């Protein structure tokens, strides 16, 4: 039960390969003979020259590289293909007449008669796992990726195994289902619904064991339904179909990729590691779950979204579920140092760490409950990373050492959390890991939206101090200063001092304030510094009072930075020192991927590769290999046959 690939190599003299003869795949009990002549003249030597010749023969002995599939269709044939190769090494290539369209990376089904019919003897329906990637191209439609027709009497219109995809016209929700049936009335079905955006890939997999009557349905590697009492189906099918349409119009288009059928039940961990699919957001444009509002939209281009500490994107995460208390989030980041940072005093007042400037890459914080925090990533000006989480009751943080992230450089940052430990990956490689004890008590939130370009919507308005060179009250001789926020009435009063010294008695007056307010989206604040005139103290500002300074149109993103504005009136001259800060991001982001489970190191590397490389060939195949694999994670491969193959794996030489 081994598979062989062979090589016979002739060297004359021993440093120069004159001829390489390769044999392609040898399946069990197969044989091949190599023979031929080598012309001495080809070596550039004469018959009278003493020399030596080496014949080197080798064979690569592998276990089946197909991982046990009965059928594995990559579906990556070139345009116009009518034969689709079986990568399982079982030789079950299939051909068609009215074929789906090969795009080079998938098969496109766009008409009711574009159905692939498979040999039913390939499939053992006693115990199996069947799965494929499906993409809805049209806005709606009904599609059957996989269907088995039975041989029992009374099975007309009933199918022992069926997978279905249904999106109604005008709907944002897609229903996918699987069923096993013995008759029209005796069947077991599992289904789920999700928010679907046309043009995005989803992985469907059904596992079934007839003897134990167990059945599981997986969407993107995660179980969405199971039964321990499934119907025992007929195991002698008459036909197996891929890509069947049900009542579909000519404008309905679907694509399929990587079809696999295993003659065994794959366990849940294997399915998750192989087919776990993130919720992906392309930040080069809006749509497909990415949105923004007017002047809050960042600059969008093929390079990604560029943020300037005033912009953000909103990502639709309503389809995610973190009940297993794990997550992984990956994003391409090019951070820039921010010009507008927190002052030390403002940071101390609001509880913001100012040992380095922290900016939010992504995240969400509930504006009505400060402890409801979806995992939020911050990058510090010293190159550290910090993750904040909170479930409404408990909050926690995990922080790395400095120097993890470089500024002004594109890099792929992955954060993975398995319920107890965090792991940080940079460009697919682990750079930091650790635990935060309080996080063990935090349940990851399910939220409907996530921000990119900021981790929360907060703006921080802070009043530091006032300095008066001149201040006195000619009418009462009594200086009563007040600051009002958003209202002239007493309800808007946020600070007052009815006994401020007059500069008729002192050279100047310094007044520490140390007070602030938080803003969120939609807030438009103004404040007023005024001196109360009149015969008695009055908390309401009116025409009798003196306006020293009024600043309007303050939002959570403008006007940023520390300000020093003049305090001025007939009997007052001075300066108010105040600041507006936030934790918004400056730099470029691209391709956010969110998983509802913890990535393994291999998984993190694959996520980085698939985001970075379209094709990555290492050319490290063993001697005799005729298939060169793609390690980018995109499942491409290149092949050759016989004499057209380059020499592979020859020690000391280029492959």
Q: What is the 3-state secondary structure (H, E, C) of 487-501?
A: CCCHHHEEEEEEEEC
300-456+585-607 is classed CATH 3.40.50.1820:
no
Q: How far is CA 563 from the centre of its chain?
A: 39
pLDDT of the residue at 652: 44
Q: Whole-angstrom Cα distance, residue 389 to residue 373?
A: 5
Alpha helical stretches, state H, 462-559: none
For the chain, which residues make up each domain, given as ranges? 3-62, 71-277, 300-456+585-607, 459-582, 609-644
- In this predicted model, which residue has the larger pLDDT, 632 or 243? 243
pLDDT of the residue at 8: 57
Q: Whole-angstrom Cα distance, residue 124 to residue 236?
A: 9
Q: Whole-angstrom Cα distance, residue 481 to residue 501?
A: 10
Q: Whole-angstrom Cα distance, residue 215 to residue 160?
A: 13
- For the segment 409-436, what is each residue's pLDDT rounded down to a tens digit? 999 999 999 999 999 999 999 999 999 9
Left (φ > 0), alpha (ψ -120 to 50) or beta: where does 604 sit? alpha
Contact between 463 and 497 (Cβ < 8 Å): no
pLDDT of the residue at 1: 34
How far is the CA of 133 from the CAs of 67, 107, 143, 605, in angstroms?
18, 11, 13, 21
Q: Whole-angstrom Cα distance, residue 411 to residue 379?
A: 13
Q: Is the pTM of this model over 0.85?
A: no
User: Which residues does 48 contact at the CB level (< 8 Å), separation at least 6?
Assistant: none
- Mean pLDDT for 59-82 is 75
Q: Do domains 71-277 and 300-456+585-607 have the same CATH topology?
A: yes
Contact between 520 and 457 (Cβ < 8 Å): yes
**Both structure tokens of 497:** 């001092």
- For the segment 555-604, what is each residue's pLDDT rounded down to a tens digit? 999 999 888 999 999 889 999 999 999 999 999 999 999 998 899 888 88
- pLDDT interval class at 5 (50, 70, 90): very low
The residue among 90, 201, 183 whose CA lies nearest residue 136 is 201
- pLDDT interval class at 26 (50, 70, 90): low
User: Which residues does 200 contact at the CB level (< 8 Å), separation at least 6?
Assistant: 135, 136, 280, 288
- For the segment 518-548, what is each residue's pLDDT rounded down to a tens digit? 999 999 999 999 998 866 677 899 988 899 9
- pLDDT interval class at 105 (50, 70, 90): confident
CATH superfamily name and code, 459-582: C2 domain (2.60.40.150)
Q: Where are the beta strands (DSSP E) in 427-545?
A: 429-435, 449-452, 459-471, 479-485, 493-500, 509-519, 525-531
- Judge whether residue 154 has pLDDT over 60: no
SS3 314: strand
Tell me which of 47-61, 284-298, 396-410 is least confident: 47-61
- Judge whether residue 449 has pLDDT over 90: yes
- pLDDT interval class at 653 (50, 70, 90): very low
- In this predicted model, which residue has the larger pLDDT, 430 or 80? 430
- In this predicted model, which residue has the larger pLDDT, 62 or 446? 446
Tell me which of 65-79, 210-224, 361-375, 447-461 is least confident: 65-79
Which range has the top average pLDDT, 31-40, 288-297, 619-628?
A: 288-297
Tell me which of 107-116, 259-268, 558-567 is least confident: 107-116
Contact between 451 and 457 (Cβ < 8 Å): yes
Look over the chain and give the mean of its residue pLDDT values, rounded to a whole number: 87
Tell me which of 12-21, 441-450, 477-486, 618-627 is least confident: 12-21
- Judge whether residue 172 has pLDDT over 90: no
- Mean pLDDT for 122-137 is 94
Helix count and strand count (H, E) for the chain: 3, 44
SS3 296: helix
CATH of the domain spanning 71-277, picked from 2.60.120.200, 3.30.420.40, 3.20.20.150, 1.10.3470.10: 2.60.120.200
- Mean pLDDT for 600-621 is 82
User: Which residues does 646 contact at the CB level (< 8 Å), separation at least 6?
Assistant: 640, 655
- pLDDT interval class at 49 (50, 70, 90): low
How far is the CA of 440 from the CAs of 415, 419, 444, 455, 646, in angstroms?
16, 7, 10, 21, 54
- Judge whether residue 266 has pLDDT over 50: yes
pLDDT of the residue at 153: 43
pLDDT of the residue at 147: 93
- Mean pLDDT for 231-244 is 89
Q: Which DSSP helix (H) or strand (E) runs through 181? A: strand 173-181
């Amino acid at each position: 039960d081994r598979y062989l690939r062979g090589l016979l190599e002739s060297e004359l003299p021993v440093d120069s390969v004159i001829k390489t003869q390769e044999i392609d795949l040898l399946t069990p009990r197969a044989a091949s003979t190599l023979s031929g002549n080598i012309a001495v003249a080809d070596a550039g030597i004469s018959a009278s020259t003493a020399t030596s010749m080496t014949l080197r023969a080798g064979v690569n002995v592998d276990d089946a590289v197909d991982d046990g599939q009965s059928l594995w269709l990559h579906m990556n044939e070139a345009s116009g293909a009518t034969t689709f190769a079986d990568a399982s090494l079982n030789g079950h290539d299939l051909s068609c007449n009215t074929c789906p369209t090969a795009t080079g990376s998938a098969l496109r089904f766009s008409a009711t008669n574009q159905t692939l019919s498979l040999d039913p003897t390939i499939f053992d329906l006693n115990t199996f796992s069947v799965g494929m990637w499906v993409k809805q191209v049209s806005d709606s439609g009904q599609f059957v990726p996989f269907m088995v027709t039975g041989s029992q009497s009374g099975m007309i219109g009933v199918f022992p195994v069926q997978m279905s995809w249904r999106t109604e016209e005008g709907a944002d929700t897609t229903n996918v289902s699987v069923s096993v049936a013995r008759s029209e009335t005796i069947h077991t079905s599992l289904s789920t619904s999700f928010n679907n955006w046309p043009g995005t890939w989803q992985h469907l997999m059904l596992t079934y064991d007839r003897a134990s009557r167990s059945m599981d349905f997986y969407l993107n590697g995660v179980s969405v339904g199971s039964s321990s009492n499934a119907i025992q189906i007929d195991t002698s099918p008459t036909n197996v179909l891929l890509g069947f349409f049900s009542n579909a119009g000519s404008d309905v288009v679907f694509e399929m990729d990587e079809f696999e059928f295993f003659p065994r039940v794959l366990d849940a961990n294997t399915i998750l590691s192989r087919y776990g699919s993130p919720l992906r957001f392309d930040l080069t444009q809006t749509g497909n779950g990415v949105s923004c509002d007017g002047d809050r939209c960042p600059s969008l281009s093929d390079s990604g979204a560029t943020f300037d500490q005033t912009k953000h994107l909103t990502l639709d995460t309503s389809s995610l579920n973190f009940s297993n208390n794990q997550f992984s989030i990956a994003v391409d980041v090019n951070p820039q140092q921010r010009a507008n940072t927190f002052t030390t005093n403002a940071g101390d007042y609001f509880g913001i760490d100012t040992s380095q400037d922290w900016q939010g890459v992504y995240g969400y914080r509930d504006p009505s409950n400060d402890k409801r925090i979806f995992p939020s990533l911050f990058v510090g000006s010293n190159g550290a990373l910090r993750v904040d989480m909170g479930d409404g009751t408990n909050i926690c943080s995990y922080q790395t050492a400095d120097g993890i992230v470089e500024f002004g450089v594109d890099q792929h940052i992955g954060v993975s959390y398995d319920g107890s430990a965090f792991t940080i990956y940079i460009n697919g490689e682990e750079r930091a890991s650790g635990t935060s004890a309080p996080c063990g008590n935090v349940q990851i939130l399910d939220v409907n939206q996530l921000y990119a370009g900021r981790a929360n919507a907060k703006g921080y308005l802070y009043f530091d101090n006032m300095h008066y060179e001149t201040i006195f009250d000619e009418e009462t001789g009594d200086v009563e200063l007040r600051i009002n926020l958003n209202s002239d009435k007493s309800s808007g009063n946020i600070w007052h001092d009815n006994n401020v010294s007059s500069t008729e008695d002192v050279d100047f007056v310094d007044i520490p304030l140390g007070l602030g307010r938080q803003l969120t989206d939609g807030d438009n604040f103004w404040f007023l510094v005024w001196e109360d005139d009149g015969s008695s103290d009055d908390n309401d500002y009116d025409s009798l009072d003196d306006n020293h300074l009024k600043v309007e149109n303050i939002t959570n993103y403008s006007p940023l930075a520390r300000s020093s504005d003049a305090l001025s009136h007939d009997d007052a001259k001075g300066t108010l020192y105040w600041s507006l800060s936030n934790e918004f991001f400056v730099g470029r982001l691209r391709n956010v991927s969110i998983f509802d489970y913890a990535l393994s190191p291999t998984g993190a590397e694959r996520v980085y590769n698939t985001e970075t490389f379209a094709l990555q060939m290492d050319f490290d195949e063993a001697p005799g290999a005729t298939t060169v694999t793609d390690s980018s994670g995109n499942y491409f491969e290149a092949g050759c046959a016989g004499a057209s193959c380059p020499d592979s794996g020859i020690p000391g030489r280029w492959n």
